[in-house]
Amino acid sequence: MAQHNELGKSGEKDAVNFLRKKGYDILETNYVYEKAEVDIIAKTGDYLVVVEVKTRSTPDFGDPQDFVKPAQIKRLVKAVDYYVNEKDLDLEVRFDIVAIIKNKLGKRIEHLEDAFYYFE
């Protein structure tokens, strides 16, 4: 596995542990629908929280959250819409980003709630 893929998978595990410690109930990881992969689907209170995890080894080229693009957001929304209907859920949906910088100097995790909105 390429080093950047290992970093990404490691970051997703870190994000799951981070969210669990905050009291989130993790429902799914790496949920796939059509061309979209949702890193984490969790529940907290009355919210279904869709979490995109972005892990980088350095912020030199921008913060991890800067790498979530409009086309990806559109795919995520479609996947989550399908998930909500398939599971017959009656929850508010929120899109969060967990941004992680992880390297030999340490690890920084930032949780951005309501990180993006989707308008057609």
* pLDDT one-digit tens code per residue, 51-88: 999 888 776 676 666 777 888 889 999 999 999 999 99
Please state which of the four CATH numbers 3.30.230.70, 3.30.70.260, 3.40.1350.10, 3.30.70.20 is assigned to the domain occupying 3-112: 3.40.1350.10
CA 99 to chain CA centroid, nearest Å: 9
Q: What does the pLDDT read at residue 3?
A: 57
Sheet of 25-33, strands arranged across: 25-33, 36-44, 47-56, 92-103, 106-112
* pLDDT one-digit tens code per residue, 6-58: 877 888 999 999 999 999 999 999 999 999 999 999 999 999 999 999 888 77
Q: Which amino acid is at 51?
A: V
Q: What does the pLDDT read at residue 120?
A: 43
At residue 26, what are phi and psi to the nearest 5 degrees? -80, 120
How would residue 116 be classed by pLDDT, with cut points 50, 70 and 90?
confident
